[in-house]
């Protein structure tokens, strides 16, 4: 029976191929959408761990999370250094990491921070940052590169880089009078850290010494050694990552910062802010999912129409089969086997297509957004989706099969068309 | 089943109509075929020949009367049993389009063996494999196995196709061969050769033969020739083709 079904399909390979193609595309689409959704979430979640509170100027929780940790968008305002000191002096606070953003180098953001960043920042499963070469900045004009920055721009230790004002890829104004020297390169993390250039807070101040009213002052610029001797205490930072001595005090601290009188501040729990982000994104996710489900349904409807349309022209075949001893049940089975083969073929082709798409997509997403999409074997939920599609395919095949069954019952051995 | 009788087909007071409230199209008081007999059934188209064949092949069920084929009372069979009965005991040849276009000649001939254990067993009983039996039947039909076996059937001429269909009807030696106008698509020369081949092999296999045609000139080849209008007491004048009620 399987042999007959196979030969019958081969005989009508153009339509069979189209049906397989339609199913494979829908399978690939739904798997890829699912994967991007899952991996994007994963990638976001991996980025912050070990941080109890994120503090910034008062805005929205999602916005704060996005610009401070994921470097998406910009801050509306800064936190004054006095507030930073007040927060760091609180008894429950174990450490703070100041983050100062707003400058870039060839499209990569420059992050001003202090050495606590390398001690306390955690990503993934509470992993800390590690250097692949060189050392952490200790001079005002030292910079530590994320792995991707170093790899993409081909920088080595000791190279000098010029930082540009603003975050655009095309720099309009460059802080070219005070170049930075690369002192260290970090190991890859799969987070936005890979795409950042880390300098000290003092370095951020230093490059703005000659910067007045949004432009460089005329002249050759201040000599670096003169700048080193200046007081480079920052006046403000963009955001703070705060670690507490005990997680139990997190809500009390959050409340204290949110009601801080000297300056309107916002403290968010990374997990809660992420959740808010998911709620926001889930509308789009659902829309994508609905579209993919519709594509799957379209694929199955196509399968059904291919089989149904084939029935009329195959009525004679059915009669021949019946006269050679096939029962109506055999005819039913034949059609079911054919639809099963088409569905299975579609699923296998779809899986392969999915890996191609995911492979290409991961390159794009990594480049554009720093999201890491790993190629992996289908997981449980993927398998469930595939199983559901397989069952739906079989189900879609039973209707034509049933019709063939009924026709072959009523037609008997008649050769009339 | 009570022993084997001399008759392969026995019809007794059979009446058939397409629906219970319609006039019967067939009423046959008695129609028998002896074992090994070759019967020619003629009649104009629309006279109910195919209907009679369908009754004997248990495709249709009469409203009344009994039909016994190879000692099996067809009235006692249920749906699936009818199919099994048919493939086990009857080889069928139609006017044309007997073959599945997507199967090779070999697969087409061996098709009944796929569905019937009895046919499969008997095809192998002569001490030959089913493939050897297929070759033998093809040669008996004056076809060359080497040339045709793995050819798609669509490349065969109509005459070749009909002979392949006969080989399929004969494989596994069913006790009864029913041929429904198998020669109407052939020209007169191949027609006679075809019938001779059919006879020789049906004889060798010990099959009875019920051969239907409207071409009365073939009647002389057969043991017995019957005009359906002589035995059908239902007065159907019709030249209308009878379509099954769907």
Does A411 contact B107 at a Cβ distance shorter than 8 Å? no
B185 and A CB contact within 8 Å: no
A412 backbone φψ class: left, alpha, beta (φ>0; ψ -120 to 50)? left
Q: Quick check: is B201 in a domain?
A: yes
Q: Quick check: is B69 in a domain?
A: no
Does B92 contact A328 at a Cβ distance shorter than 8 Å? no
Query: Would you give the DSSP letter of residue A252?
Result: H
B116 and A CB contact within 8 Å: yes
Residues with pLDDT less than 70, chain A: 166-177, 210-221, 366-373, 410-417
pLDDT given for residue B20 in this prediction: 81
Number of residues assigned to chain B: 246
Q: Quick check: is B67 in a domain?
A: no
pLDDT in tens, B63-77: 999 999 998 999 898
Confidence of residue B225 (pLDDT cuts 50, 70, 90): very high
Structure token digits, residue A340: 């099963």
pLDDT given for residue A220 in this prediction: 60
B86 and A CB contact within 8 Å: yes
Does B115 contact A326 at a Cβ distance shorter than 8 Å? yes
Residue in B99, B108, B111 nearest the CB of A325:
B111
**How far is A298 from chain B, CA to nearest CA, in Å?**
29
DSSP per position, A26-95: HHHHHHHHHHHHHHHHHHHHHH-BS--EEEEESS-HHHHHHHHTS--S--SS-EEHHHHHHHHHSTTEEE
B117 and A CB contact within 8 Å: no
Does A323 contact B114 at a Cβ distance shorter than 8 Å? no
pLDDT given for residue A219 in this prediction: 58
**How far is B169 from chain A, CA to nearest CA, in Å?**
8
Q: For residue B189, what is the domain's CATH number?
A: 3.40.50.300
Query: Using alpha carbons only, how large is chain A's radius of gyration in Å?
Result: 31
Q: Quick check: is B14 in a domain?
A: no
pLDDT given for residue B94 in this prediction: 85
pLDDT given for residue A172 in this prediction: 58
pLDDT in tens, B140-156: 888 888 888 777 788 88
- What span, in angstroms and rounded, lies between the C-alpha atoms of B54 and A413? 8
Q: Cα angle at B33 between B237 and B14, to 5 degrees?
A: 45
Q: Quick check: is B136 in a domain?
A: yes
Residue in B92, B243, B246 nearest the CB of A323:
B92
| Summary mean pLDDT of chain B | 84
Structure token digits, residue A251: 């809500």
Does A327 contact B83 at a Cβ distance shorter than 8 Å? yes
Nearest chain A residue (CA) to B245: A410
Q: Quick check: is B19 in a domain?
A: no
Q: Give B-chain residues touching A323 at CB under 8 angstroms.
A: 92, 94, 98
Structure token digits, residue A187: 């190991």
- What span, in angstroms and rounded, lies between the C-alpha atoms of A351 and A25? 9
Confidence of residue B246 (pLDDT cuts 50, 70, 90): very low
**How far is A396 from chain B, CA to nearest CA, in Å?**
24
pLDDT given for residue A416 in this prediction: 45
Query: Residue B98 is part of which domain span?
Result: 36-60+78-231
Q: How many domains does chain B have?
A: 1
B59 and A CB contact within 8 Å: yes
Instruction: Decide: A4 and A341 in contact? Cβ < 8 Å.
Output: no
Q: Quick check: is B192 in a domain?
A: yes
pLDDT in tens, B196-211: 888 988 888 889 999 9
**How far is B223 from chain A, CA to nearest CA, in Å?**
26
pLDDT in tens, B12-45: 999 998 888 888 888 999 999 999 899 999 888 7
- What span, in angstroms and rounded, lies between the C-alpha atoms of A409 and A319? 10
**How far is B87 from chain A, CA to nearest CA, in Å?**
4
pLDDT given for residue A414 in this prediction: 61
For residue B136, give every residue at least 6 positions away whose Cβ sits within 8 Å of its Cβ, in sequence order, or none.
Answer: B128
pLDDT in tens, B77-99: 887 888 888 889 999 888 877 88
How far out from the chain centre does Cα A95 lie?
29
Tokens 């997509």 label which residue? A361
Q: Which helix (H) or strand (E) holds B64?
A: strand B64-69
Does A320 contact B99 at a Cβ distance shorter than 8 Å? yes
Give the 3-state DSSP-derived string for A275-343, with helices as H, strands as E and coil as C: HHHHHHHHHHHHHHHHHHHHHHHHHHHHHHHHHHHHHHHCHHHHHHHHHCCCCHHHHHHHHHHHHHHHH
Q: Quick check: is B205 in a domain?
A: yes
Does A320 contact B59 at a Cβ distance shorter than 8 Å? no
Nearest chain A residue (CA) to B110: A324
Residue in A3, A320, A330 nearest the CB of B98:
A320
Q: Give A-chain residues touching B94 at CB under 8 angstroms.
A: 323, 413, 415
How far out from the chain centre does Cα A204 lie?
30
Q: Give B-chain residues touching A3 at CB under 8 angstroms.
A: 107
């Amino acid at each position: 029976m399987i042999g007959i079904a196979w030969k019958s399909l081969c005989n009508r390979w153009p339509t069979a191929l189209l049906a397989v193609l339609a199913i494979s595309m829908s399978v690939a689409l739904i798997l890829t959408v699912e994967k991007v959704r899952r991996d994007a979430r994963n990638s976001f979640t991996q980025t912050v761990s070990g941080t109890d509170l994120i503090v910034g100027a008062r805005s929205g929780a999602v916005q704060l999370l996005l610009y401070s940790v994921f470097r998406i968008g910009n801050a509306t305002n800064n936190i004054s250094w006095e507030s930073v000191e007040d927060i760091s002096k609180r008894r429950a606070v174990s450490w703070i990491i100041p983050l100062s953003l707003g400058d870039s180098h060839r499209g990569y953001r420059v992050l001003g921070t202090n050495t606590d960043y390398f001690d306390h920042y955690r990503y993934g499963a509470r992993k800390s940052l590690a250097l692949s070469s060189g050392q952490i900045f200790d001079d005002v004009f030292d910079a530590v590169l994320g792995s991707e920055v170093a790899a993409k721009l081909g920088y080595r230790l000791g190279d000098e880089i010029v930082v540009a004002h603003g975050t655009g890829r095309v720099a309009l104004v460059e802080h070219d009078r005070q170049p930075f020297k690369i002192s260290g390169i970090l190991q890859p993390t799969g987070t936005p850290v890979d795409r950042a250039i880390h300098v000290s807070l003092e370095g951020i101040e230093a490059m703005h010494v000659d910067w007045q009213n949004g432009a460089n002052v005329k002249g050759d610029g201040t000599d670096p050694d003169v700048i080193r001797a200046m007081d480079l205490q920052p006046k403000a930072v963009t955001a703070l990552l705060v670690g507490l001595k005990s997680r139990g005090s997190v809500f009390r601290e959050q409340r204290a910062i949110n009601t801080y009188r000297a300056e309107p501040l916002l403290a968010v729990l990374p997990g809660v802010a992420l959740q808010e982000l998911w709620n926001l994104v889930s509308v789009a996710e659902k829309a994508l999912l609905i579209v993919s489900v519709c594509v799957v349904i379209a694929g199955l409807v196509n399968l059904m129409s291919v089989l149904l349309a084939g029935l009329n022209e195959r009525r004679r075949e059915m009669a021949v089969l019946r006269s050679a001893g096939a029962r109506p049940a055999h005819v039913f089975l034949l059609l079911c086997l054919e639809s099963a083969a088409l569905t299975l073929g579609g699923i296998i082709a779809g899986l392969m297509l999915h890996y191609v798409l995911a492979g290409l997509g991961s390159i794009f997403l990594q480049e554009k957004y720093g999201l890491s999409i790993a190629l992996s074997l289908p997981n449980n939920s993927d398998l469930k989706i595939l199983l559901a599609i397989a069952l739906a395919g079989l189900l879609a095949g039973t209707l034509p099969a049933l019709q063939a069954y009924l026709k072959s019952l009523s037609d008997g051995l008649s050769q009339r068309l | 089943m009570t022993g084997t009788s001399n008759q392969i087909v026995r019809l007794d007071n059979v009446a058939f109509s397409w629906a219970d409230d319609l006039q019967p199209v067939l009423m046959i008081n008695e129609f028998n075929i002896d074992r090994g007999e070759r019967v020619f059934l003629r009649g104009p188209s629309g006279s109910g020949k195919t209907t009679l064949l369908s009754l004997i092949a248990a495709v249709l069920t009469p409203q009344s009367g009994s039909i016994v084929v190879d000692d099996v009372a067809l009235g006692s069979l249920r749906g699936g049993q009818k199919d099994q009965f048919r493939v086990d005991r009857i080889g069928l040849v139609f006017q044309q389009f007997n073959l599945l276009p997507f199967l090779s000649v070999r697969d087409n001939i061996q098709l009944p063996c796929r569905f019937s254990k009895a046919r499969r067993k008997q095809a192998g009983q002569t001490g030959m494999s089913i493939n050897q039996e297929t070759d033998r039947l093809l040669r008996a039909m004056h076809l060359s196995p080497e040339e045709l076996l793995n050819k798609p059937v669509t490349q065969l001429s109509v005459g070749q196709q009909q002979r392949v269909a006969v080989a399929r009807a004969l494989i596994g030696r069913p006790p009864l061969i029913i041929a429904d106008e198998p020669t109407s698509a052939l020209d007169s020369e191949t027609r006679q050769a075809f019938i001779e081949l059919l006879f020789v092999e049906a004889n060798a296999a010990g099959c009875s033969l019920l051969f239907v045609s409207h071409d009365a000139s073939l009647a002389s080849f057969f043991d017995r020739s019957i005009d359906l209008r002589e035995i059908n007491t239902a007065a159907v004048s019709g030249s209308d083709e009878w379509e099954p009620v769907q």
